[in-house]
Amino acid sequence: MEPVLTARVDSWTWGVRLFKTRSMATAACRAGHVRVNGDKAKAAQSLRIGDEVRVRTDGFDRVLIVSRLIVKRVGAIVAAECFVDHTPPPPPREEVAMVPTRDRGAGRPTKRERRDIEELRGY
């Protein structure tokens, strides 16, 4: 059996279990949530060993370095051997800014309240 020299981005991200289905991986590429070596990746873009893949899922980026190419979905243990994870740890919960919430039934915010909320959120 010959070793695989290149693999499609959507197939590889699905194969290493970053996405549940291949169509979800393709949709993420189409939406610009997958980057290869800093550039937005199309679903059919070729991957090589040593490439950096950034995948945006659930509001944060996963940074992976390709260490082995696969084109079919494999078990979780084998999938973990196909990349080196360089994802930074998430910030501590106390550092994450608390989003202000309004009391239920309080109605729409006034103009002043809306401006205060936007200022707090940094818009």
Whole-model pTM? 0.72
Identify the domain containing residue 79 by its residue range. 7-85
- With a CB cutoff of 8 Å and minimum separation 6, the contacts of 19 are 13, 25, 28
Residue 78 lies in a domain: yes
8 neighbors 46 (Cβ within 8 angstroms): yes
Residue 92 lies in a domain: no
- Structure-block tokens of residue 58: 């659930």
Which residues is 65 bridged to in the sheet? 52, 84
Q: Which secondary-structure segment (H or E) carries 21?
A: none
28-40 in b/e form (b: 16+ CB < 10 A) is bbeeebbbbeeee
- Number of structural domains, the chain? 1
Residue 117 lies in a domain: no
Each of the 123 residues of the chain gets a pLDDT tens digit; together they read 556 788 999 999 999 999 999 999 999 999 999 999 989 999 999 999 999 999 998 778 899 999 999 989 989 999 999 999 999 887 776 655 666 677 888 888 899 988 988 888 877
